[in-house]
């Protein structure tokens, strides 16, 4: 018996249990690399058993090199699939930078084409992420990339990328009995565009197993994976709620004659938009392959779902949408607090001080109209910031997501937030927005995007039906912010 398979894209059929290699980085964290030959042999054993789809990233220790070694030695024609990620720091994403990032993946894997290259971006306020994806699309057309995916994209930005013509096939996100965000708005975007999810954290690093049933809160953990998911457990309301989920999953497991971990993974796999779950492997240590195959021998029924729902009610939802844990508090990552890291990220724009008036500064975002029509994107005077009517113009003159009010609103609000930040403010300082819409049909999508962005700090808002926006713009937004004294 082998794991079920699913078509991720035409010609790309994956094992529904992918083998995750972040654990390699944890195993190598003291600086000693795994023995490449032995680790490659261990990977080959996964592949032979049908677990032949591997997930890694540029920063997962020597995982790409180990996989490259395994592929070199692989005797068969249908070689295993090597999915990796490129997670560049924000900054300009020129064709050369993107090509170099992709070429490094090819070199480390020793292949001519990356089967699936997944892109991560730290801050959507830095708009170069769209440049990177367009360059990746060009490299896909050139044959260096098989398919393009993203990782840790929320629903709004996944929709935006797709609406701007990026042919994404997948989004890799956290999804588990503890973190159920991916069943929300992201599921609707997946259904709308036919994009599928690759789910990680389905076992919360091993916390979702019999081993932790009835145990006390360990307080802290030594390995990165469990350190991360302990934060998720706490963000979901704490240890008692987690134990309620374990107890419910245990009852269901006993009923079906499977393990608690099988129930946890099965719950994720049964969501229609989930192509597969990525289960982390500690090479040379525990394998769990035979146990994980049991996943495909049972299905959850209505009674199981009702029981799990009762347990969910004893937890609180993880805040925000998928991927927010990398971009804003609470930082639910292995190291916990990424705020210093994010503060070191280059700003999307720089402020230009007024040459005459002290305490006045302007931001220009590079639109070709700024110099022609004589305006700036935003201006700060003392503690007041005024942001010009902003459209979804990317760079000099690219209209983002033509005709799509929801996507354009997302793009515009990121641009406004970046301008406010360049002038020393933050999005929550925005006290007023005005939205100018092209037509009645734009009201709902634009409002939903505005509502998502401002969920926690709603400004005063006025919405106009302009009816005469130029080009393919469905919406223009202006804003005012006041910095706290």
278 binds ligand NAP (CB under 6 A): yes
Of the candidate residues 247, 282, 327, 434, the single one contacting ligand NAP (CB under 6 A): 282
Nearer to ligand NAP (CB atom), residue 285 or residue 344: 285
- In 3D space, the residue among 257, 174, 242 whose CA is nearest the CA of residue 208 turns out to be 242
- Count the neighbouring beta carbons within 10 Å of the beta carbon of residue 463: 17
Which positions ≥6 away from 398 have C-beta within 8 Å? none
Nearer to ligand NAP, 183 or 291 (CB): 291
User: Considering only 73-81, 231-239, 282-290, 347-355, which stretch makes contact with ligand NAP by CB under 6 A?
Assistant: 282-290
429 binds ligand NAP (CB under 6 A): no
Of the residues 109, 279, 332, 422, which one makes contact with ligand NAP according to CB under 6 A: 279
Given candidates 80, 149, 185, 201, which one binds ligand NAP under the rule CB under 6 A? 201
d(CA 442, CA 448) in angstroms, rounded, equals 10
C-beta atoms surrounding 338 within 10 Å: 18
**Paired strand residues for 384:** 381, 482
C-alpha separations of 129 from 65, 89, 93, 142, 302 in Å = 26, 10, 7, 20, 42
Contact positions with ligand NAP (CB under 6 A) in 333-352: none
CA 9 from chain centre, in angstroms, equals 19
CB of 27 to ligand NAP, least distance (A): 10
Which residues inside 36-75 make contact with ligand NAP, applying CB under 6 A?
55
What is 61-111 written as a DSSP string? TTHHHHHHHHHHH--SSSPPEEEEEE-PPSS---HHHHHHHHHHHHHHHT-
Taking the complex as a whole, the smallest distance from the CB of residue 473 to ligand NAP amounts, in Å, to: 34
Tell which one of 15, 170, 209, 409 touches ligand NAP (CB under 6 A).
209
Give Cβ neighbours of residue 225 (< 8 Å, ≥ 6 apart).
Answer: 22, 23, 26, 205, 206, 280, 334
Site string for ligand NAP, 129-168 (x = CB under 6 A): ----------------------xx----------------
Quick one: which of 46, 124, 200, 436 contacts ligand NAP (CB under 6 A)? 200
Which residue in the block uniquely carries the two structure tokens 């058993």? 49
Q: Taking every pair of C-alpha atoms in the chain, what is the biggest distance, in angstroms?
A: 77
196 belongs to the binding site for ligand NAP (CB under 6 A): no
Stretch that binds ligand NAP, among 158-166, 183-191, 284-292, 457-465 (CB under 6 A): 284-292
Asked if 394 contacts 402 with a C-beta cutoff of 8 angstroms, the reply is: no
User: Taking the complex as a whole, how short is the minimal distance between the CB of residue 67 and ligand NAP, in angstroms?
Assistant: 11
Nearer to ligand NAP, 27 or 315 (CB): 27
204 binds ligand NAP (CB under 6 A): yes
Q: How far apart are CA 67 and CA 54, in angstroms?
A: 8
Q: Of 3, 8, 14, 20, which one interacts with ligand NAP (CB under 6 A)?
A: 20
Give min distance, CB of 283 to ligand NAP, in A. Answer: 10
Nearer Cβ to ligand NAP (197/376): 197
Q: What is the DSSP string of 338-380?
A: -HHHHHTSPPSS-EEE-SSSTTEEEE----THHHHHT--SEEE
Q: If binding is defined by CB under 6 A, does position 286 make contact with ligand NAP?
A: yes
Query: Nearest-CA neighbor of 210 among 266, 259, 263?
Result: 259
Which CB atom, from 195 or from 477, has the smaller least distance to ligand NAP? 195
Output the smallest distance, CB 157 to ligand NAP, in A: 15
> Which of these ranges, 70-78, 134-142, 201-209, 394-402, lies near ligand NAP under the rule CB under 6 A?
201-209
Mask of contacts with ligand NAP, 224-243, x by CB under 6 A? -x------------------
Cβ proximity to ligand NAP: between 143 and 214 the closer is 214
Cβ neighbours of residue 465 under 8 Å, at least 6 residues apart? Answer: 437, 439, 440, 443
Which of 112, 285, 344, 456 forms a contact with ligand NAP (CB under 6 A)?
A: 285
Calpha distance 111→328 (Å, rounded): 36
Q: How far is the CB of 232 from ligand NAP (least distance, A)?
A: 10
- Our CA angle for 344, 347, 353, nearest 5°, is 120
In the list 12, 14, 17, 21, the residue contacting ligand NAP (rule: CB under 6 A) is: 21
Least distance between ligand NAP and beta carbon 170 (Å): 11
> Which residues contact residue 313 at a Cβ distance below 8 angstroms, ignoring those fewer than 6 apart?
none
Q: Which residues bind ligand NAP (CB under 6 A)?
A: 20-23, 55, 151-152, 172, 200-206, 209, 225, 259, 261, 278-280, 282, 285-286, 288, 291-292
């Amino acid at each position: 018996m082998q794991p079920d398979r699913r078509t991720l894209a035409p010609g790309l059929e994956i094992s529904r249990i992918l083998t995750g290699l972040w654990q390699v980085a944890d195993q190598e964290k003291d600086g000693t690399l795994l023995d490449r030959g032995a680790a490659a042999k261990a990977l080959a054993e996964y592949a032979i058993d049908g677990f032949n789809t591997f997930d890694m990233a540029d920063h997962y220790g020597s995982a790409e090199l180990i996989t490259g070694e395994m592929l070199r030695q692989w005797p068969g024609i249908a070689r295993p699939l090597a999915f990796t990620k490129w997670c560049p720091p924000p900054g300009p994403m020129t064709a050369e930078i993107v090509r170099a990032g992709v070429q490094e993946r090819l070199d480390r894997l020793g292949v001519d084409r990356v089967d699936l290259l997944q892109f991560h971006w730290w801050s959507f306020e830095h708009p170069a992420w769209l440049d990177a994806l367009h360059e990746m699309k060009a490299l896909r057309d050139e044959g260096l990339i098989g398919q393009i995916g993203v990782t840790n994209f929320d629903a709004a930005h996944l929709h935006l990328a797709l609406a701007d013509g990026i042919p994404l096939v997948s989004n890799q996100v956290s999804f588990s009995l503890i973190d159920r965000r991916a069943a929300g708005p992201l599921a609707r975007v997946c259904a709308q565009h036919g994009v599928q999810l690759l789910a990680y954290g389905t076992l919360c690093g091993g916390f979702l197993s019999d081993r932790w049933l009835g145990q006390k809160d360990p307080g802290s953990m030594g390995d990165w994976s469990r350190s991360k998911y302990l934060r998720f457990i706490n963000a979901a309301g704490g240890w008692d709620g987690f134990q309620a989920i374990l107890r419910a999953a245990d009852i269901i497991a006993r009923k079906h004659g499977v393990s608690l971990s099988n129930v946890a993974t099965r719950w994720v796999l049964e969501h229609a938009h989930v192509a597969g779950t990525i289960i982390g492997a500690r090479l040379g240590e525990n394998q769990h392959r035979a146990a994980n195959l049991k996943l495909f021998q049972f299905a959850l029924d209505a009674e199981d779902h009702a029981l799990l729902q009762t347990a969910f009610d004893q937890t609180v939802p993880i805040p925000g949408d998928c991927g927010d844990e990398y971009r804003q508090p609470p930082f639910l990552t292995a190291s916990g607090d990424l705020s210093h890291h994010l503060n070191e990220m280059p700003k999307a724009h720089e402020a230009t001080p007024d040459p005459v008036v002290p305490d006045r500064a302007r931001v220009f975002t590079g639109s070709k109209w700024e110099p022609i029509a004589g305006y700036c994107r935003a201006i700060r005077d003392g503690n007041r910031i005024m942001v010009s009517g902003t459209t979804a113009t990317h760079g000099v003159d690219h209209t983002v997501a033509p005709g799509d009010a929801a996507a354009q609103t997302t793009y515009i609000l990121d641009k406004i937030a970046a301008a406010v930040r360049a002038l020393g403010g933050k999005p929550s300082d925005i006290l007023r927005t005005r939205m100018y819409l092209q037509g009645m049909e734009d009201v709902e999508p634009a409002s939903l995007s505005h509502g998502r962005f401002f969920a926690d700090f709603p400004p005063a808002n006025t919405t106009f039906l302009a009816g005469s926006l130029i080009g393919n713009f469905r919406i223009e937004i202006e804003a005012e912010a006041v910095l706290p004294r």
